Amino acid sequence: MATPSRPVPVLFRPLPKGGRLLKHLLLIGFGLVMLYPLLWMVSSSLKPEELIFRQPGLWPSEVTLDNYVDGWTALKHPFGYYLWNSAVVTALSVVANLVACSLAAYAFARLGFPLKKLWFAVMLGTIMLPHHVVIVPQYIMFSKLGLINTIWPLVMPKILATDAFFVFLMVQFIRTLPRELDEAAEIDGAGYWRTFYRVVMPLCLPALATTAIFTFIWTWNDFLSQLLYLNNPDNFTVPVALRTFLDSSGESSWGPMFAMSIVALGPIFGFFLAGQKYLIRGVATTGLK
Amino acid sequence: MADTVAVERRAKASGPVTGGSRTTERKRREARAAYLFLAPWFVGLFVITIGPILASLYLSFTDYSLLEEAKWVGFDNYVKMFTEDPRFVSSLKVTTIYVVVSVPLQLAFALALALVLDRGLRGLPIYRSIFYLPSLLGGSVAIAILWRKVFGAEGLVNAVLGVFGIQGPGWVSDPDYALGTLILLHVWTFGAPMIIFLAGLRQIPSSYYEAASVDGAGRLRQFRSITLPLLTPIIFFNLVLEVIKSFQSFTQSFIVSNGSGGPADSTLFYTLYLYLKGFKNYDMGYAAAMAWVLLLIIAGLTGVNFLASKYWVFYGDSK
């Protein structure tokens, strides 16, 4: 009699072939339903205006770039002008966050100082703080300083490391690096500053990449602050400019609005494709969105 | 060679060579360096965060419009909110419904998909990316604009329904359905919690499942007795995070209703009403009071979540 073979754990037993195929079919179907609105927006942006709502299908029977041409010039400035404004705000925010948050994170992760535990707890507390609690006084402050319609209200908080999420992310990351490296650098005569930017920062590249990508996406998408602080069409960024489409064109010109929405989503989509690894890892380890 | 130089330099830098004072001097130097590294953060903490929090507490007891001096009115703003302002009450109701319905739904989808994708399914990275993409885009103005059109009277949904001969309502312009479309938009962004769930599932040792199946436990039983309990800390984490986040949703409600919260205030989120009060009516004292109520609500919800977690969240070491 043959000895009974050990049972394969139920969860690992491969599904029967048909079952596996069914699972994939269901997943693909579900994915299609989820992405359908996005795909529909892309295809609609390529259709002549009058066809958009008569065809729920994806394949345009007639392809035209008119919507892009019309949308690009529909507002006070060509759309590229708003893209540039957004790019400036976003680039400054990314640089500011990288520098300010990593400086603070190094101190929390590696240096001893009085009341460290208290300040660390305060820093964690500010992560949970709803932004709306501070917007009224912040707005008053920036308006008294005459900084409405400048980029300072948008960039200043980043220069001052108020995105505590990223400080925390980097503290966690630096803590995983072996301390012997710091000590070796110190023996070689490096001060704190040199240790920070010659030893610790180069090893932090993954955390810095996550910070950069998320800062990019959040700033590019951010609507509330830009709506509050930029009221002059000459300073509009992409989200605020897109919003004026709703006012100026009412319900009629959806084609150009879709076209410019796709232009607005383009950079995020690009970063998504390029930085997937860091995005997924960032979400998985810290719960960033 | 280099070593002796370094030691000499350190000796010089740390002054007298008596053991005790050298370490205190070193500590002092380290603390000084730390405060320099933290300088931007400290300035930000006081100027951008703590200062404004206190200022907004003060403003909440005043009548203030940016142009005139603030006038002390005591608890008037808070009393008015709950007794004389039906729009405030309705915004609170709308937001509560939104959070209570959309967060559990979103997490249920996230967990279900994470379970399907777990354990060696081929093509996992592709599926994961597809389901995650909406989370990245979901908060943007462009997607809110799209949503407005997908659920418009002449939108995608009605065009699809039309194929089956059904005449759908104008979803975003009907007070009965408008909030539903925003809930759907939130559920659509289940990818981020899904990834957190996937990471959590990966932490569960496969030996548990092996042991269970040797004991004859079926798939369902394994899920109920192993997966679910071991996943409760992650579910809890996602729950706290999503409740806090969704209570502060703004962009979707603003764009879908074009800044009005309509139709009939059915999409008037709390934060949108706060914005309208503070920055359209310039009733900044009132807006500050609303901000503090929001802070208390969120702190309260988080507290309740933590207290309740004792009864359902399973931490490995507690048994």
Q: Give ipTM to 2 decimals.
A: 0.87
Query: Which residue in A133, A144, A188, A253 has the most chain B C-beta atoms within 10 A of its own C-beta, making it the best mutation to test that interface?
Result: A133
What is the phi/psi pair of residue A66, to 5°? -55, -40
Whether the per-residue pLDDT at A109 is higher than 50: the answer is yes
Per-residue confidence (pLDDT) for residue B261, from 0 to 100: 87
Kindly report the average pLDDT of chain A as a whole number.
Answer: 88
pLDDT in tens, B236-275: 989 998 999 999 999 999 999 888 888 899 999 999 999 9
Contacts of A9 in chain B (CB under 8 A): 206, 209-210, 212-214
pLDDT tens column, B275-295: 999 999 999 999 999 999 999
The better pLDDT of the pair B52, B219 is held by: B52
Distance of alpha carbon B52 from alpha carbon A160, whole angstroms: 14
Q: Where are the alpha helices (DSSP H) in chain B?
A: 2-13, 19-44, 51-59, 76-84, 86-117, 124-137, 141-150, 156-163, 178-188, 191-202, 206-214, 219-222, 228-247, 251-256, 270-275, 284-312
Please give the pLDDT value at position B316. 65
Query: Residue A286's pLDDT band (boundaries 50, 70, 90)?
Result: low
Instruction: List residues bridging with B72 in a β-sheet.
Output: B62
Mean pLDDT in residue range A8-31: 73
- Predicted pLDDT of residue A16: 58
Assign domain B76-318 one CATH number from 3.40.190.10, 2.120.10.80, 1.10.3720.10, 2.60.40.1220: 1.10.3720.10
Question: Which residues of chain B from 184 to 223 reach within 8 Å of chain A, CB to CB?
Answer: 188, 192, 195-196, 198-199, 206, 209-210, 212-214, 217-219, 222
Averaged pLDDT, B155-160: 87
Q: Which residue has the tokens 């319609």?
A: A149
Mean pLDDT within B59-81:
93
Going by C-alpha positions, the residue among B239, B252, B240 that lies closest to residue B185 is B252
For A159-208, the pLDDT digits (tens) are: 999 999 999 999 999 999 999 988 899 899 889 999 999 999 999 999 99
pLDDT at residue A248 in the model = 66
Confidence of residue A287 (pLDDT cuts 50, 70, 90): low
Contacts of A135 in chain B (CB under 8 A): 278, 291
**Quick check: A272 pLDDT over 70?**
yes
- Is the pLDDT confidence value at B2 over 50? no
How is domain A72-286 classified at the CATH fold level? Answer: MetI-like fold (1.10.3720)
pLDDT at B77: 95
**Rounded CA separation A260/A249 (Å):** 13
CB atoms near residue B75 (< 10 Å): 10
Condensed to tens digits (0 to 9), the pLDDT of residues B190-217 reads 999 999 999 899 888 889 988 998 998 8
Separation of alpha carbons A72 and A86, rounded Å: 15
**Predicted local distance difference test score (pLDDT) of residue B3:** 46
Q: What residue ranges do the domains of chain A occupy?
A: 72-286
Which pLDDT does position A249 carry in this prediction?
56
Residue-wise pLDDT for B12-41, tens only, equals: 444 444 556 778 888 899 999 999 999 999
Q: Which pLDDT does position B4 carry in this prediction?
A: 43
Q: Does B172 touch chain A (CB under 8 A)?
A: no
Contact list, B136 vs chain A (CB under 8 Å): 217, 268, 272, 279
Domain assignments of chain B as residue spans, ordered by start: 2-59, 76-318
Distance, CA of A46 to CA of A58 (rounded, Å): 10
- The CA distance from A209 to the nearest CA of chain B, in Å, is 16
The answer to whether the beta carbons of residues B266 and B203 sit under 8 Å apart is no
Nearest to B278 by CA among B266, B264, B265, B289: B289
Q: What span, in angstroms and rounded, lies between the C-alpha atoms of B96 and B105?
A: 14
- pLDDT band, very low/low/confident/very high, at A8 (cuts 50, 70, 90): very low
pLDDT value at position A2? Answer: 41
Contacts of A40 in chain B (CB under 8 A): 150, 156
Q: A246 pLDDT exceeds 50?
A: yes
Share of chain A above pLDDT 90, in %: 62
Q: Give percent of chain B above pLDDT 70.
A: 92
Q: pLDDT tens digit string along B79-107? A: 999 999 999 999 999 999 999 999 999 99
